[in-house]
A and B are shown apart, each in its own frame.
Chain A
Amino acid sequence: MTTAVETPKYSFKDFASDQDVRWCPGCGDYSILAAVKKTLAQFDVPPEKYAFISGIGCSSRFPYYMNTYGIHSIHGRAMSIATGLKVARPDLNVWVITGDGDGLSIGGNHTIHTLRRNVDLKILLFNNQIYGLTKGQYSPTSPFGKKTKSTPMGSLDWPVLPLAIALASEATFVARAVDTHPKHLIEVLTRAHQHKGAAFVEIYQNCNIFNDGAFSYAQDRKIRADHIVELRDGEPMVFGKEDDKGLAHVEGQVRVVTLGQGGFTKNDLLVHDEKAPMSEHFKLARLRQPDFPEPIGVIRAVERPTYNDLVNDQIAEITERKGPGKLQELIQGHATWQVAGEDLD
């Protein structure tokens, strides 16, 4: 993957606000904040051209810590607010910061519709599989049977897969990253920034207070190689500490195979295609440990006109055809009559 890095004019400090960061010590949000600032510093876009819009939750405090424009809004509504802003102000780079509770539970509806419209927004969904701000209730991504304050005997809700929801919503850009892999995270965020359209990025994020270690399989250097597969466009899906495992189609199903066993070689592995049919990406989005490595990186990246462009193009097109609106004519309408009555002035 090549990332077109422009002449850096800004440093990540240019994107830091004067506010004290108040997340819990050790929170995964710190590394995401740093990665976002580093990502933005690569581009020749000044801080005033960015707006960060968030909902409610620990992650949603994010805009306060960016030296850009921003709104810390209400539960689940960040995407709608961001949609209005982007449609009204296509010149701005609008990022949405949301969490698994905010974006998939109370705001699930807006997530679906923002993605299917393909509004040109960069959507970062911090997934820590828990409600952190309200102190530890299970979230829509928590595993079945999860014991929390609100589910002392175990949650009875089946978890949703954020990437699968994004794909089912016809998202044009779907990716996953992990808070503790900053280099990879910056790569993914850079791709998201460069994507024209709704870019949905799920970020595995550790809540060391209420759900510590939920993603240790993907974070722990010692074991992660066996539990995640880094997707790269045009490359085979290899993983494992020794790069000895891979994903292949066996009898129509995605299976984990070991290279050199059962006659499998690198040539038998699935080759990642960011523009593959949706069904292929859907299969990848549903891979879960411990049976499968979980894919990280850009799963899907396709082109489709953005909603904000379509709205504004329609206005331009009609104005071109009809000419700019003549207000007096509009107010007057087509059926008028003259009253020759008294002048009551």
Chain B
Amino acid sequence: MSVKTTETGEKPIQSIQRATVRFAGDSGDGMQLSGMQFTNTSAVYGNDVSTLPDFPAEIRAPAGTVYGVSGFQLHFSSEDIHTPGDQVDTLVAMNPAALKVNLRDLKPGGIIVANEDGFTTQNLKLAGFEESPLDDGSLDGYRVFQVPMTNATTHAVEELGVTGRDAHRCKNFFALGLVCWLYSRPLDPVVEFIHSKFKSNEQMREANLKVLHSGYYFGETAEMFQNNFQVKPATLPKGLYRQVRGNEALALGLLTAGHLAKKELFYGGYPITPASDILHELARHKEFGVRTVQAEDEIAGICTTIGAAFGGSLGVTASSGPGIALKGEALGLATILELPLIVVNVQRGGPSTGLPTKTEQSDLMQAMYGRNGDCPMPVLAPRSPSDCFDIAIQAVRIALKYMTPVMILSDGYIANSAEPWLVPSVDDLEEIPVHHLEETNGPDGELLPYKRDEDYSRPWVLPGTPGLMHRVGGLEKADGTGNVSYDPDNHQRMTDYRHAKVEKVVDVVPDQIVYGDPDADVLLIGWGGTYGAIREATAELIERGHPVANIHLRYLNPFPKNLPEILKKYKHVLVAELNKGQLREILRARFLVDARGLNKVQGRPFMVSEIVTAVEMLMNEEAK
């Protein structure tokens, strides 16, 4: 359908509560940039925002193909939101492949802004269309706007002497300008961005500014759009905000934890999607004394970190599932050495190399048990991008207090998506106490490097300390002295201690809070990055008159003290997770609860509607 023109004049603005926009195009089209800039301008405008970047694993798949499509989805609202949105209100499609891949997520009646210049015969063929969907009536259920973006862009920059490839590269700013108009966004933050991004390239700076404004004015003047929309600022707690992505927040949290513990941060790792940005972020901030080592492989990555931790640094390594698998043996070493270590797993689709750029939660069992021997480890999972900051600090607190490696289970969705973040004040954060033994601690003046305190934690003795020389290693340690011991009773005792130590972490785990209807029959359980979707689904279910309660676990090992009591209260327990039921299995085994699962493994986050439907089905079943 094409839109009939209306008479010229000021166009009416329609006020709406929330909107979801997706930019989609070739991986070289700059869609991530457009999306991020649109997010930024929406956040600055005062909306609550949540994003979902979605990019192909190929660096540059052949142009025009469906496997080269890169997308960026943004949900912005005048209310508190937690997800990047189920269905898309407005889809920007730069070519037929982008339309094909993304159409299934567009709302009935939703808006398609298509770059008609991208719908060439060749591109249509590459995307597998026999006829152009823009002409064959197949899009009749949507509001389609065909905009000659490539041509308009080329014309706009002609007078600046920009031609060919450079001109083409500006068209993402045309799309951005147009969508900014469509949703009444201010251009100032984008203008500022262009000024700083192209500081040293005047021609491209002027070209992109010109194109951005052309897109905006096109919306305003072209007799195509009848009206535009406005999403009012959200009511958020008072304060200073910024936008933050999960990996960024994690890196900032680790830096802050180092500051709170007065410890130098050491990061050893190996590049892997979607964890690499943690290394990138830390490597940029050397003025904070951060030492980053890009090692030759995952194993060296964690081993350098163990060495640094032995030397007294705050050791951090990060990876994704396949890399964590390689680190497994060293994790066992860190566990028996009883040294503090932070291990971040930014999960992606598996097994093996799986879906490198897509999100999943299928490494929970790996985090809990994926090592040889009885090798317990505290496991924490952030629930959102900004929560990564708090989780990182909490993980460090636990690692240093209990002298243990701690696993942080993030995921690809959290890592790459962004949300507004009320900037915390460092001065308000509690210090992390660290104690290093400086004299012998045995009853007869001897050193006992494995003497335990009331938390079963052992002292952290720094090399270089006179009189406290000792050796540690991967062979079983004798209780107290840490010497090698094959004594059967000692092995039992040390294994028990290592377990008791991790169980003791429960002392710093806050009680689990129940959200929703406390008298409900159904308890929805989630963990990690599915928080937003499950929380919104719970709210919606309650709104629809279904009594539902929801808990979201940030502490997976140990679980909060009051969890067994909560689980007992509900008739139905539904565990929603992006795997085949790993948390469900653990809860069933540990608490003998008849938990059922809502499981999805598509490399995509839950949609709110999927969860709502699943719970309604469960209730209908019950009613029969």
Contacts and interface: CB of A to CB of B under 8 A. Distances in A.
Interface stretch (A84-92, A249-257, A271-279): A84-92
B250 interface: no
Contact of B304 (A70, A83, A322): A83
A318 B304 CA distance: 23
B462 to A, nearest CB: 8
Contacts of A319: 286-287, 289
Interface stretch (B52-60, B472-480, B494-502): B472-480
A327 B311 contact: no
B311 A80 contact: no
B2 to A, nearest CB: 38
A263 interface: no
Contacts of B44: 335, 337
A80 B333 CA distance: 13
Contact of A84 (B315, B423, B424): B315
Contact of A68 (B424, B467, B469, B484): B469
Given A51-B463, A84-B307, A337 B241 contact: yes
Interface stretch (B13-21, B252-260, B405-413, B529-537): B252-260
Interface stretch (A41-49, A186-194, A238-246): A41-49
Nearest to A106: B299
B308 A85 contact: yes
Interface centre among A64, A81, A323, A340 (most CB of B within 10 A): A81
B425 A341 contact: no
27 contacts: A47-B469, A48-B466, A52-B471, A69-B464, A71-B310, A71-B471, A72-B471, A73-B333, A74-B329, A83-B303, A84-B268, A86-B307, A87-B266, A88-B291, A88-B307, A109-B296, A113-B295, A315-B290, A318-B287, A322-B287, A324-B287, A327-B255, A327-B256, A328-B426, A331-B426, A337-B242, A343-B237
A78 to B, nearest CB: 8
Given A64-B471, A314-B286, 16 more contacts: A48-B463, A51-B310, A51-B463, A69-B463, A74-B332, A84-B304, A85-B310, A89-B464, A315-B286, A327-B426, A331-B256, A332-B240, A333-B242, A336-B240, A341-B236, A344-B238
Contacts of B241: 336-339
Interface in B315-365: 315, 329-330, 332-333, 337
A88 B266 CA distance: 7
Contact of B423 (A89, A318, A331): A331
Interface residues of B, number: 73
Contacts of A51: 310, 463
Nearest to B40: A335
B243 interface: yes
Contacts of A48: 463-469
Interface of B: 40, 43-44, 46, 189, 233, 235-244, 252, 255-256, 259, 264, 266, 268, 285-291, 293, 295-297, 299-300, 303-313, 315, 329-330, 332-333, 337, 423-427, 463-475, 483-484
B308 A84 contact: yes
B291 A315 contact: yes
Contacts of B330: 74, 77
A71 B473 contact: yes
Contacts of A71: 306-307, 310, 337, 471-473
A147 interface: no
Nearest to A53: B307
A80 B317 CA distance: 13
Contact of A81 (B303, B475, B483): B303
**When A and B form their complex, which 6 residue pairs have the shortest distance between CB atoms, in order from nearest?**
A84-B307, A72-B473, A84-B304, A80-B303, A325-B288, A85-B307
A121 B499 CA distance: 36
Nearest to B304: A84
A165 to B, nearest CB: 14
A63 interface: yes
A105 to B, nearest CB: 14
Interface centre among A64, A73, A75 (most CB of B within 10 A): A73
B268 to A, nearest CB: 6
B46 to A, nearest CB: 7
A66 B259 CA distance: 35
A331 B252 contact: yes
A113 B295 CA distance: 8
B319 to A, nearest CB: 15
A35 interface: no
B289 A87 contact: no
Contacts of A333: 242, 244, 423
B43 A337 contact: yes
Nearest to B248: A333
Given A49-B464, A72-B475, A325 B285 contact: yes
Given A89-B463, A323-B287, A64 B238 contact: no
Given A80-B300, A335-B44, A73 B474 contact: yes
Contacts of B305: 84
Contacts of A340: 238
B311 A88 contact: yes
A341 B242 contact: no
A323 B289 CA distance: 11
A342 interface: yes
A82 interface: yes
B463 A330 contact: no
Contact of A338 (B239, B266, B290, B427): B239
Given A80-B303, A327-B259, A339 B238 contact: yes
A87 to B, nearest CB: 6
Contacts of A338: 239-241
B329 to A, nearest CB: 6
Contacts of B40: 335
B243 A335 contact: yes
A205 interface: no
A24 B424 CA distance: 61
Given A84-B305, A327-B288, A69 B471 contact: yes
Contacts of B426: 327-328, 331
A337 B291 CA distance: 32
A73 B473 contact: yes
Nearest to A336: B242
A11 interface: no
Nearest to B423: A332
A286 interface: no
B463 A342 contact: no
Contact of B237 (A64, A81, A85, A339): A339
